[in-house]
Structure formats: C-alpha cells, structure tokens
Amino acid sequence: MTRRARNSEPGTQHRRTRTRNPKPETGNRRGLRLLHWLLLFVASLIVVDGLVGDRGLLAILRARHEYDELANTIARQRWENARLRDEAHRLKDDPSAIEEVARRELGLIKPGERVFIIKDIPPAKQ
C-alpha cells in the first residue's frame, strides 16, 4: 500500500498541517514599504509645518520677541510721558523752574548779573 492509500483508509487519523508562509508576498511587502514611506513623509510634513508654518514655532518665537520689544517701547513712552507731565507741572507752578529753563535754554540773566564766556583752549601739542 502506498502512503497515500494508507492515509486515505477509513478509520485512519488524518493529520493536516498548515504550512505558514514566513515571507509575505512580494506585492504585499512592497505595499507595506510604500505605506511606511508615505507615513514618514506625512509625519515629516507635519513636523516641518509645526516649525516654520504660519502658526509654527518660529512664528510664535518671532511674535513673542516683537511683543517684548513693543512692551519695552510702551514702558519707555509711559516713563517719558510721566517725566514731561511732571516738568510741565513744575513749569506751571514753580518760579525757580521757570528761571532755570530761562537761564539754561534762553541764556537770560537777572539785572545786575555779569556773564563770563570762557572759550575752550585746544590742548597743547607735545
């Protein structure tokens, strides 16, 4: 009796083995590789857009830097406004402040005062 005949006899137990194909089909492997590259490409696009896009990290850093500069400018302008407000108040109410400005900026003197003009002499050459 041949092996085939013996296994096909009634009452004989048949043992069926499934053979696994350890290597996927070539078309399936190519599709998986293409899918991996496609996912990598999409992830790279998302990362690049997150860095340099309209709302990306670089745009946020640039906007934060501009905000800090503008905040500093506003603080300086407020300080300057307060100083000018104080000076205007002094010039309005304090006669000594008015006299100081008249002497310094306009070169005025009180009656009876003498003005001495001192010219700078260039340093002697050695």
Half-sphere exposure of 6 (CA within 13 A, CB side): 4
Q: What is the DSSP track for the chain? A: --HHHHHTSTTPPP---PPP-SS--HHHHHHHHHHHHHHHHHHHHHHHHHHHSTTSHHHHHHHHHHHHHHHHHHHHHHHHHHHHHHHHHHHHH-HHHHHHHHHHHH----TT------PPPPPPP-
CA of residue 111 relative to chain centroid, distance: 63
- The residue-averaged pLDDT of 96-115 equals 87
For the beta carbon of residue 123, count every other beta carbon within 10 angstroms. 6
Q: Which two tokens stand for residue 99?
A: 């006299």
pLDDT of residue 9: 55
Largest interatomic CA distance in the chain: 150
Output 77 or 114, whichever has higher pLDDT: 77
Q: Is the pTM of this model over 0.75?
A: no
Residue 119's pLDDT band, with cuts at 50, 70 and 90, is: confident
Name the residue among 100, 119, 118 with its Cα closest to residue 108: 100
pLDDT at 69 exceeding the cut of 80: yes
- What's the whole-number average pLDDT of the chain? 83
pLDDT at 104 exceeding the cut of 90: no
pLDDT of residue 36: 93
pLDDT at 95 exceeding the cut of 80: yes
Q: What is the pLDDT of residues 8-63, one digit of tens each?
A: 555 556 566 666 655 556 678 888 999 999 999 999 988 888 888 788 888 889 99
